[in-house]
Structure 1
Amino acid sequence: MTREGDVYRLSPPLVLYQGRSRVKTLFGITLSAILALGISSAHAETLDADDIAFQALSPVVSALLNSEDADELMVRADKLESTDTLQAIAVYLAATREDHKQILAPYQVAALFARRGDDKLAERFLKVADDRGLWFGPQLAGDEDFADLRQTSTFKSVLANAQQRYAKIAKGKVGAISVLNPPATIPVPAACRPVLVWLHGYGVNGEVDESYQPLADTGAIVLGINGTEMINAVDSFRWIGPGFEGTHKAVQNGLKELAAQQCIDRKRVYLMGFSQGSQHAGALLAQHPEDYAGALLLSPGGNQPTPTVSKARGKKVYVINGKMEGPGNQQMSADFRKLFSEGNEVKSTTHDGGHFFPEDWRTSLPLALRWMMGTEA
């Protein structure tokens, strides 16, 4: 999107002019959006054309005028989805035209049209996404927006192409490891170094950079692992079910790869997770206590049921969550405290924030890890 004087131009033929005179010409279009915006017809009669057009189009116009590129349009469209799908579609369409390499934009347009029951337009933009190289097959396969289209030839063709591309793109990325070692000044124990396995939250990845150094300063090797499925970007992953065995396998493969690089103490492998990764970390300790020595659970969350039975005994578990988190996260934190209460040592703290690390995490998390490893002194 480029600015030329007082004219903001997108891909032809869509041109939005600043000023009230141009907005009046959109009156006919905006009348159809009145109901979607929750403006009653009686109220609409008390408004002039400018007022109606402004109320209907202002979020879209604001997104178009204030976004520098397609990425910013995507962010704004995502925010609009929860309030008005038509407005979100308009901004996703702008992103689709703005960047002809953009895959997620036409995908989102297709999903929103499918959600509204417009199957023809949904299929049209699925084809656009496919032509641009749609590759996130697992997400497409499980997307409930397309439930009514799954038996159509268009959807089956697009899905097959996306699954083939996913297999190539995800190779070497799913389950990939990232390693952060303790400083060389910390002596290596006789039984080699302990390992802290980091299980990330939904939509990010397992890369451990220098910001995690306070954890490595405890003497533990920090091992980050990418989730078991890529979502819709090459740096965006999740831990998939059903159950937690896929995550356990990924962690064990990561530890095997790390052990081929340096000596590690397999009896002192600790888990640390956040959100979805935290739920999986707690489940792994409960179901495979022979492989893990303890777990640091930060703001656990996720859509799977939390395990109700634990085989863990003699383990150390530290649960941390924010006071401002949602009810589901609060409940899961309580569930894990209860799950490990029998035969294990459990510590628990809350911070004043929401669903994120505590502000003092660079100090508090290493202290929690030292407690689990028995090296507080």
Structure 2
Amino acid sequence: MQAHADEIGAVIVGFPATTDLGDDTQQWSEEPVADHAYIQYRLSIISKSIPLDLERVVLFGFSQGAMVAGDLASLYPDSYSGAILMSPGGIGMPMASEKRLTSHSSQRYFCFCGAEEHPGNVELTKAYAQHFRSVLGAEVTLKLYPGIDQHTRPPDFMEKFPDWASEILKKENQNQSSHTTPASAPR
């Protein structure tokens, strides 16, 4: 995965979610303030040893991680350039920002899932895309992958990830140059 990020001069930073379930799995708290603070803390620690441009962070996630990525990017647009949501689904309801801010117009979102996945995932993917576009005024790409009925990453994820991340960073930083490396989180 990092080899793909190298193509765009990015660093992929992945770390476990906030809550350890005790069986070698984690889940996000789905409390945006806590999840945002956790991500910012982890990025600040990592940036002490790896030069990261913390003004250029792309969130991406799958399932619950997709919901967290979308919610946090919309609630904290000054911290995140946008997000890649893959088959969003979670325990709680979405908590995306209801208030349009000027910085939302510089964000970009990619929302994906299998067209034949569970109807809840399909509807949530569409709802996020519509919300980001119409309520926040962000640029959005929505794709429902035909013939895909499994709750899984898009089949072209490894091939397309550099393009998606580049588009988000380009949208956010069209006139900005930097000597540090953009970061991506959570996964």
Task: Determine if contact 1:322/1:358 at 8 Å carries over to the other structure.
Answer: yes
Task: State the 1:358 CA deviation.
Answer: 1.9
SS at 2:133's partner residue?
coil
TM-score by length of 1: 0.41
| 1:310 Cα deviation from its structure 2 partner | 4.5
Q: Which amino acid aligns with 2:162?
A: P
* Structure 1 Cα separation of the partners of residues 38 and 106 of structure 2: 25
Give the CA RMSD over aligned residues.
Answer: 1.8
2:110 equivalent in structure 1: 318
The answer to whether the Cα contact below 8 Å between 2:133 and 2:139 also exists between their aligned partners in 1 is yes
SS of 1:346's partner is: strand
Equivalent of 2:8 in 199, 203, 218: 218
| CA shift digits 1:245-270 (9 cap, x unpaired) | 22111100111011111221122111
State the distance in 1 between where 2:133 and 2:161 align.
21
The 1:249–1:366 alpha-carbon spacing in structure 2 relative to 1, beyond 3 Å, is: same
Q: State the partner residue of 1:261.
A: 49
Residue number in structure 2 paired with 1:44? none
SS in 1 for 2:49: coil
Q: Distance in 2 between matches of 1:326 and 1:310?
A: 29
1:365-376 aligned at under 5 Å gives the runs 365-374=161-170
Q: What does 1:228-377 align with in structure 2 at a 5 Å threshold?
A: 228-233=18-23, 235-241=24-30, 243-307=31-95, 309-311=98-100, 312-342=104-134, 343-351=137-145, 352-353=147-148, 354-374=150-170
Q: Given residue 225 of structure 1, which amino acid in structure 2 is its aligned partner?
A: F
Aligned-pair CA distance for 1:221: 0.5
Q: Give the TM-score, by structure 2 length.
A: 0.80
Q: How many residues align?
A: 163
SS of alignment partner, residue 341 of structure 1: helix
Rounded Cα–Cα distance in structure 1 between residues aligned with 2:6 and 2:17 = 21
> In percent, how many aligned pairs have the same letter?
26
After superposition, the C-alpha distances for 1:259-300 in whole angstroms (9 at most, x for unaligned) are 111221122111011100000000001111111111111111
Q: How far apart are 1:215 and its partner, in Å?
A: 3.3
The residue correspondences of 1:1-377 to structure 2 (distance < 5 A) are 211-233=1-23, 235-241=24-30, 243-307=31-95, 309-311=98-100, 312-342=104-134, 343-351=137-145, 352-353=147-148, 354-374=150-170
Letter matched to residue 346 of structure 1:
V
Between the aligned partners of 1:214 and 1:278, the Cα distance in structure 2 is: 20
More RCO (CA 8 Å, sep 6+): 2
Greater C-alpha Rg:
1
Q: Choose between structure 1 and 2: higher strand proportion.
A: 2
Give the match's secondary structure for 1:374: helix
8 Å Cα contact 2:113-2:143 kept in structure 1: yes
- State the 1:319 CA deviation: 0.7
